[in-house]
């Protein structure tokens, strides 16, 4: 797992420390939350998509509540990591977003600049 984390760290965002990248990557790879199954089902159905800001977006009105719940959980994780590292929550969210976008399965809807596309 360390090797995978090191590969991800090499492609990090400018200004993000190697230690932060490693910590976030290891967290993502080892601590998948129980709600991940629900998230995967919502992604697979196209009801929600991933945005480059680190949060999900409801693509269907019926998925809005689930998207808000997922985003609240993500926001709590991002805030915890930001506080621990002494950095801005948006910076943490961008690091997570890059990893999420990189690892979501093909067919997942991704939003950039307000436009949707399938990975």
What residues does each domain of the chain span? 36-118
Q: Assign residue 113 a region: left if phi > 0, alpha if psi is -120 to 50, beta otherwise?
A: left
Percent of the chain with pLDDT strictly greater than 70: 69
CA-nearest of 76, 99, 102 to 89 is 76
Task: For the chain, give the mean pLDDT.
Answer: 81
Query: Between these two residues, 36 and 65, which has the higher pLDDT value?
Result: 65
CA-nearest of 28, 21, 108 to 74 is 28
Statement: residue 9 has pLDDT above 50 = no
What's the pLDDT band for 36 if we cut at 50, 70, 90? low
Q: What is the pTM of this model?
A: 0.69
């Amino acid at each position: 797992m360390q090797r995978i984390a090191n590969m991800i760290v090499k492609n990090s965002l400018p200004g993000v420390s190697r230690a932060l990248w490693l910590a976030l990557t290891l967290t993502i790879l080892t601590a998948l939350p129980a709600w991940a199954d629900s998230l995967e089902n919502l992604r697979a159905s196209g009801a929600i998509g991933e945005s480059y800001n680190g949060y999900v977006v409801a693509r269907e009105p019926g998925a809005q509540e689930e998207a808000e719940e997922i985003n609240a959980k993500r926001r709590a994780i991002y805030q915890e990591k930001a506080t621990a590292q002494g950095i801005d929550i948006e910076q943490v969210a961008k690091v997570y977003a890059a990893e999420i976008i990189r690892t979501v399965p093909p067919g997942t809807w991704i939003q950039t600049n307000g436009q949707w596309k399938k990975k």
